[in-house]
Structure 1
Amino acid sequence: MFPPIILASKSPRRQELLKLMNLDFRVVLKDVDESYPEHLQPEEIARYIAEKKAHAFDESVTNELVITADTIVCIDGQILGKPSSEEHAVTMLSLLSGKKHQVITGVCILYKQRYHTFTDISDVYFRKLTEEQIQYYVKKYQPLDKAGAYGIQEWIGLVGIEKINGSYTNIVGLPTEKLYRELSVLVVSE
């Protein structure tokens, strides 16, 4: 149905989501500087970085379709990336505790030298977490590879998230319904 797909992500969660979608793909990684201009708004940041990752494939693909993505967590205008240490993770989770935040994923599809970029936004509501719960999660699950220092599919998501508005898979790291729809439109239009 789709041309050969490259997923440019080392995220095991994104890889698992594509497998669950029954898409055949291979993972190809390229080093990309994920810095961005300071004037960008959160949604623009996610798109900017996803596009930057796709541009790393400019010269190396012809008939393949490349999927890149970047997920950020935003609370009160503050961007929470991946924590740099366990202490940083505890600080982030303490900030999220008892509040609403947004998870924004930018996705870029590179196909036939054209870039198609979109974003998805989900609202996540955390209940108030105790210091012990936060410490337990950080020690046991080591969330240093996750934006906002948590994975919704892990223990903290099961016990700490009261509700979400928007796509669950977006919070995991890839808005699958929107991605599938966009892939279908791109391939049909060719």
Structure 2
Amino acid sequence: MIKNIPPVILASKSPRRQELLKLMGIDFRVVLKEVDESFPEELSPEEIAIFISEQKAKAFDETISNEIVITADTLVCIDGRILGKPENAEHAFEILSALSGNMHQVITAVSLLKNHKIHSFYEVSEVYFKALTPEQIRYYISTGQPMDKAGAYGIQEWIGLIGIEKIVGSYTNVVGLPTERLFAELNILAD
């Protein structure tokens, strides 16, 4: 439980992030703003996630008063290469084939805006996929689930249930919001 927390705005249309905040017992409302998610090319994946998350938070700076705004950005990386959301089924197949039998990293940056100050942090989780068959990959793509997700998969979905052998780090980070760290950071901000 977080004591003395001001009203919370979640700036995310992700149903997964919304569900995680509900499970944490945090009352919030969703407010969305369009934000340019381009970034300087020289940034590392961790810096990119922070940069985009902070851009999302800055969009609220002039419009909020006694509230905390939570923004986040999740990246999936393999061998230093960022895997975005798939453009189509063929691209989803390429991404999932690259993840098959390999370890990749999921980086989620979170920014908390309160009183015109942004506090940001990130978590990194290592995810190990078993070798997937082309048929398994095609089946998962046929569900339509990979199309709105970085890395073309949701750990809580069928592909995660049958294909992920091990995670090192936060499970909820892979879902899209590192709840353990967020809880600690919100408690600090609420004081």
Q: TM-score, normalised by structure 1?
A: 0.98
Residue matched to 2:82: 79
State how 1:99-110 maps to structure 2 within 5 Å: 99-110=102-113
How many pairs does the alignment contain? Answer: 188
Identity %, equivalent residues: 68
Residue matched to 2:99: 96
Amino acid at match of 2:149: K
| Aligned equivalents of 1:108, 1:117: Cα separation in 2 | 4
State how 1:91-170 maps to structure 2 within 5 Å: 91-170=94-173
| Aligned equivalents of 1:19, 1:138: Cα separation in 2 | 28
| Aligned equivalents of 1:141, 1:12: Cα separation in 2 | 15
In the alignment, is residue 187 of structure 1 matched against residue 178 of structure 2? no
Cα displacement (A) at 1:141: 3.7
- What whole-Å deviation, never above 9, does each CA across 1:90-140 have from its counterpart, x for those lacking one? 110000000000000000000011100000000000000000000000111
Residue matched to 1:34: 37
State how 1:33-52 maps to structure 2 within 5 Å: 33-52=36-55
Cα displacement (A) at 1:86: 1.2
**Does structure 2 retain, via aligned residues, the 8 Å contact 1:86–1:142?**
no
State the secondary structure of the residue aligned to 2:146.
coil
Residue matched to 1:10: 13
State the secondary structure of the residue aligned to 2:93.
helix
Cα displacement (A) at 1:33: 1.0
In the alignment, is residue 172 of structure 1 matched against residue 175 of structure 2? yes
Cα displacement (A) at 1:30: 0.2
**Does structure 2 retain, via aligned residues, the 8 Å contact 1:47–1:70?**
yes
State the secondary structure of the residue aligned to 1:159.
helix
State the secondary structure of the residue aligned to 2:40.
coil
Cα displacement (A) at 1:142: 2.9
State the secondary structure of the residue aligned to 2:148.
coil
In the alignment, is residue 53 of structure 1 matched against residue 48 of structure 2? no
Q: Which runs of 5+ in 1 are unaligned?
A: none
| Aligned equivalents of 1:141, 1:98: Cα separation in 2 | 22
* Segments ≥4 residues shifted beyond 2 Å: none
| Aligned equivalents of 2:176, 2:95: Cα separation in 1 | 18
